[in-house]
Homo-oligomer: A and B are copies of this chain.
Amino acid sequence: MAVSKPTAGRLAALVRMLNGTDAKSVTSSELEQLTGWSSATIRKDISALDAAAELEAAGGTGYDVQTLRRIIMERLGLSVEKKCCIVGLGRLGSSFLDYNGLEKTPFILAAGFDSNVNRLEILDADVPLLPTFKIADVIPRLGIEYALLCVPPDHAQAAADKLVAAGIKGIVNYAPVHLVVPEGIEIENVCVADALCSLTARISASN
């Protein structure tokens, strides 16, 4: 049961869409309309979940929305809650403190860290806001698996090193730098400049 990286990405997006629909079942061509991915790709993605029996059990034509949703989440490891933290509570980092984009996902914000103690006092949040030096202690204690890294570029690598040492499993990196981490730690780069470059490259390519 190995779902490839692009397949995993599409399936994750599918779950979001399934959350948004109140239909009882969907067909692969309806999903094609909704997503822009070919129905064949969608069927292959779903069949990679190796769940034909369970899906069929739901009967009818198309996929039963709830069953499909549940199976994708199970297979992608999204059915158990996962704790994450914000590192760097500047404007970008603190904007995630009251971000609602994690609703309906298994991800729970469990802590925020910043090296500036004043800032910790000014900000107000539902989760504990702690000084950076507590990372090593707090991350294993709370069982935090993921970090949103929102520190300035020149501190990003150092912060990543601290997180890795504390046992983090994955980092979503908002800094425009390439992080070097040991094998087994996953990084996802989410950088405005990169995104804009990507867009530009695609647009200049198509003329």
The count of identical subunits is: 2
Interface string of A186-207 (1 = CB under 8 A from B): 1010111111111111111110
A159 at the interface (CB under 8 A from B): no
Point out the residues of chain B lying under 8 angstroms from A3, CB to CB: 201, 205
Contact call B102/A193, Cβ cutoff below 8 A: yes
CB distance from A167 to the nearest CB of B (A): 13
Q: Identify the interface centre among A13, A96, A148: most chain B CB within 10 Å of its CB.
A: A13
Contact call B194/A13, Cβ cutoff below 8 A: yes
A95 at the interface (CB under 8 A from B): yes
Point out the residues of chain B lying under 8 angstroms from A59, CB to CB: none
CB distance from A93 to the nearest CB of B (A): 8
Alpha-carbon distance between A74 and B176 when the two chains are bound, in angstroms: 20
- Add 15 more A-B contacts to A105-B193, A188-B195 (CB < 8 A): A2-B205, A3-B205, A9-B194, A12-B193, A12-B201, A16-B177, A76-B201, A78-B200, A91-B98, A92-B99, A101-B191, A102-B196, A148-B192, A172-B196, A172-B199
